[in-house]
A and B are shown apart, each in its own frame.
Chain A
Amino acid sequence: MSVVTDTPDSVEAPDFPVPTGREEAWRFTPLARMRGLHGEAATNPVAPRVTIDAAPEVSVEIVAASDPRVTRRLTPLDRPSALAMAGAPESIVVSIASEVVASRPTVIRITGVGADRTSYGHVIIDAAPFSNSVVVLEHVGSASYSANVEVRVGDCAQVQLVSVQDWDDDTVHLGRQHAVIGRDAKFRSFVATFGGNLVRLVPTVDYVGSGGDAELLGVFFSDAGQHLEHRSLIDHSAPHCRSNVLYKGALRGDPSAGEAGIARSVWIGDVLIRAGAIGTETYELNRNLVLTEAARADSVPNLEIETGEIVGAGHASATGRFDDEQLFYLMSRGIPADVATRLVVRGFFSDVISRLGLPEWEDRLSSLIDSELGLEIVEGADDDSGHTG
Chain B
Amino acid sequence: MATLEIRDLHVTVETDGAPREILRGVDLTVRAGETHAIMGPNGSGKSTLAYSIAGHPKYTVTGGTVTLDGEDVLAMSVDARARAGIFLAMQYPVEVPGVSVSNFLRTSVTAIRGEAPKLRNWIKEMRTAMDALSMDPAFAERNVNEGFSGGEKKRHEILQMELLRPKIAVLDETDSGLDIDALKVVSEGVNRVAATGEVGTLLITHYTRILRYIRPDFVHVFVDGRIVAEGGAELADQLEAQGYDVYVKAAASA
Interface positions of A (Cβ within 8 A of B):
323-326, 328-337, 339-340, 343-344, 346-351, 380-386, 388-389
Contact = CB atoms under 8 A, between A and B. Distances in A.
B192 to A, nearest CB: 19
Given A380-B107, A380-B111, A328 B56 contact: yes
A325 B94 CA distance: 7
Q: Classify chain B: how many residues form its interface, as a range.
A: 35 or more
Contacts of A348: 97-98
Contacts of B82: 331-335
B57 A324 contact: yes
B64 to A, nearest CB: 21
A326 B119 contact: no
Contacts of A349: 98
A334 B112 contact: yes
B123 interface: yes
B108 A335 contact: yes
Contacts of A388: 119
Contacts of A336: 79, 111
A385 B96 contact: no
A334 B111 contact: yes
Contacts of B122: 385
Which interface residue of B54, B78, B100, B122 has the most chain A CB atoms within 10 A?
B78
Contact of A385 (B81, B119, B164): B119
B249 interface: no
Secondary structure of the A contact surface, majority rule: helix
A237 B90 CA distance: 52
A262 B137 CA distance: 45
A73 to B, nearest CB: 40
Contacts of B108: 330, 333-335
B107 A332 contact: no
Nearest to A343: B99
Nearest to B99: A347
Interface of B: 54-57, 77-79, 81-83, 87-88, 90, 93-100, 102-104, 106-112, 116-117, 119-120, 122-123, 126, 140-141, 143, 160, 164
B90 A329 contact: yes
Contacts, number: 110
Given A326-B96, A335-B108, A339-B107, A385 B102 contact: yes
B122 to A, nearest CB: 6
A347 B141 contact: no
A384 B83 CA distance: 22
Contacts of B99: 343-344, 346-347, 350
B17 to A, nearest CB: 18
8 contacts: A326-B94, A329-B94, A333-B104, A334-B108, A380-B111, A384-B100, A385-B123, A386-B100
Contact of B107 (A323, A325, A328, A381): A381
B77 A351 contact: no
B172 to A, nearest CB: 11
B167 to A, nearest CB: 13
Contact of A346 (B57, B78, B98, B140): B98
A325 to B, nearest CB: 5
B163 to A, nearest CB: 10
A343 B107 contact: yes
Nearest to B124: A389
A335 B111 contact: yes
Contacts of A380: 107, 110-111, 116
The 8 A-B residue pairs whose C-beta atoms are closest, nearest first, are A347-B98, A350-B98, A334-B82, A333-B108, A334-B111, A329-B94, A347-B99, A331-B78
Given A339-B107, A384-B100, 8 more contacts: A329-B90, A332-B81, A333-B112, A336-B79, A337-B77, A337-B79, A339-B111, A343-B103
A331 B77 CA distance: 9
A143 B229 CA distance: 73
Contacts of A340: 79
